[in-house]
């Protein structure tokens, strides 16, 4: 049996203030487009079973445009591959926080999609001689969590589909989202299953030979730059990390193939600048050199500059910086104060603790929001409040505790 494993589509996610000519948030359109490309590839690969391991949407209440777009893409799959079941579980982003809130995922049952939102479901597919135990986020966080084991005497092939946090992943760089249900090898018991399809972590990688996170189809919060670094490390032992895409698995045997999906635009992490000892003019020159060496137009770009004091940051050529930002979809010129560098304390080489501002920005950037809220403005407002409070404390003679 050929199984396709996708996860963490986060349809409806919005970021930055750029809009398409049709008035749709550009990042929302990008994320929709990569799902459309994934569906194109699925139609070519013709899997016999498709599973989506949670966070189909970024919000419990996505926009009408996101709901309809997803409906059309799932309809394409069901129409072109009528013998291929599609199973979807809810992750924490598309799980209602209240029993009074309806679950939009149930809409897709009208297409013949198998959906699990609150309770675990064991779904048997006689034609495939297989079964899927679909365990959504809500079922995992309950006190009476179901046993994640195949049913004795059932079909030959057994697949576990769930969404949660496998300990130790994504902690070093903050690439694992908050709020996931805890998973472990003991809980999952890979030896009991033919394959385990996991969602929640946004970089493709295994936790066992037959248990994988497929990763997201796009670079998303909490830390897309950390995801790029994770991928670079994972490529060394060739354990996933091949960019963004989905997985094809041949069963029995769990032979996993990564199917890359071309991004709409690139995330470019420019080589960092060490700002210590540089005046504003010298730093302007280095920033200009980094920008000139990369194709930043319409891309998502970060330039990290270490050890920049307030006076130097204030005296930079902000007109030139605004011009760079106008070229990119988003350019994050990340100026780090000298005290941020000293926050390493006694940590090991290369390990840096986040500043309070970074922690707040990351948390607000990944916090589930209703679709009508503008995330970029929400994050900016939170950071502005924090920095205003810090300036007030400085003016009053306060300081950062040692």
Topology annotation, domain 2-260: Purple Acid Phosphatase; chain A, domain 2 (3.60.21)
Task: Provide the residue ranges of all domains of the chain, joining segments of one domain with +.
Answer: 2-260, 267-395
pTM (predicted TM-score): 0.83
First vs last Cα of the chain: how many Å apart? 59
The closest of 115, 9, 104, 106 to 56, measured between CA atoms, is 9
Q: Half-sphere exposure of residue 314, counting CA atoms within 13 Å on the CB side?
A: 3
Distance of alpha carbon 78 from alpha carbon 353, whole angstroms: 47
Contact (CB, 8 A) for 257 and 247: yes
Q: Note down pLDDT in tens along the chain; length 402 residues.
A: 999 999 999 999 999 989 999 999 999 999 999 999 999 999 999 999 999 999 999 998 898 999 999 999 999 999 999 999 999 999 999 888 766 566 899 999 999 999 999 999 999 999 999 999 999 999 999 988 999 999 998 899 999 999 999 987 776 777 777 778 899 999 999 999 999 999 999 999 999 999 999 999 999 988 899 999 888 888 765 666 568 999 999 999 999 999 999 999 999 999 999 999 999 999 999 999 999 999 999 999 999 999 999 999 999 999 999 999 999 999 999 999 996 444 444 444 444 556 677 777 767 766 655 555 566 677 777 777 776 676 555 555 544 433
């Amino acid at each position: 049996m050929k199984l396709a494993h996708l996860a963490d589509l986060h349809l409806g996610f919005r970021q930055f203030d750029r809009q398409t000519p049709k008035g749709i948030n550009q990042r929302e359109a990008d994320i929709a487009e990569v799902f459309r490309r994934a569906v194109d590839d699925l139609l070519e690969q013709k899997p016999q079973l498709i599973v989506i391991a949670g966070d189909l949407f970024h919000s419990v209440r996505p926009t009408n445009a996101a709901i309809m777009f997803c409906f059309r893409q799932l309809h394409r799959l069901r129409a072109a591959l009528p013998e291929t079941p599609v199973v979807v579980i809810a992750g924490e982003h598309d799980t209602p926080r209240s029993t009074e809130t309806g679950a939009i995922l149930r809409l897709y049952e009208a297409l013949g999609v198998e959906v699990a939102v609150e309770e675990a479901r064991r779904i048997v597919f006689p034609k495939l001689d297989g079964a899927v135990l679909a365990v959504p986020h809500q079922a995992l966080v309950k006190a009476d969590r179901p046993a994640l084991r195949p049913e004795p005497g059932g079909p030959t092939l057994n697949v576990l589909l769930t969404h949660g946090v496998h300990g130790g992943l994504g902690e070093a760089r903050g690439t694992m989202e908050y709020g996931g249900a805890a998973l472990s090898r003991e809980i999952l018991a890979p030896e009991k299953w033919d394959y385990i399809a996991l969602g929640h972590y946004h970089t493709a990688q295994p936790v066992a030979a037959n248990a994988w996170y497929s990763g997201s189809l796009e670079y998303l919060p909490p830390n897309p730059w950390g995801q790029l670094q994770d991928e670079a490390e994972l490529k060394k032992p060739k354990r996933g990390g091949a960019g963004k895409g989905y997985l094809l698995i041949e069963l029995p045997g769990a032979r996993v193939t990564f199917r890359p999906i071309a991004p709409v635009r690139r995330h470019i992490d420019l080589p960092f600048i060490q700002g210590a000892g540089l005046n504003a003019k010298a730093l302007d020159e280095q920033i200009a050199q980094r920008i000139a060496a990369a194709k930043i137009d319409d891309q998502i770009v970060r330039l990290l500059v270490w050890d920049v004091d307030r006076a130097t940051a204030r005296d930079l050529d902000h007109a030139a910086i605004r011009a760079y930002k106008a070229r990119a979809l988003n350019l994050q010129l990340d100026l780090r104060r000298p005290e941020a560098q000293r926050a390493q304390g006694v940590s090991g080489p290369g390990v840096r603790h986040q500043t309070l501002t970074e922690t707040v920005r990351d948390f607000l950037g990944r916090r589930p929001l209703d679709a009508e809220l503008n995330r970029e403005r929400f994050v900016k407002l939170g950071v502005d409040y924090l920095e205003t409070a810090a300036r007030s404390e400085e003016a009053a003679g306060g300081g950062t505790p040692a």
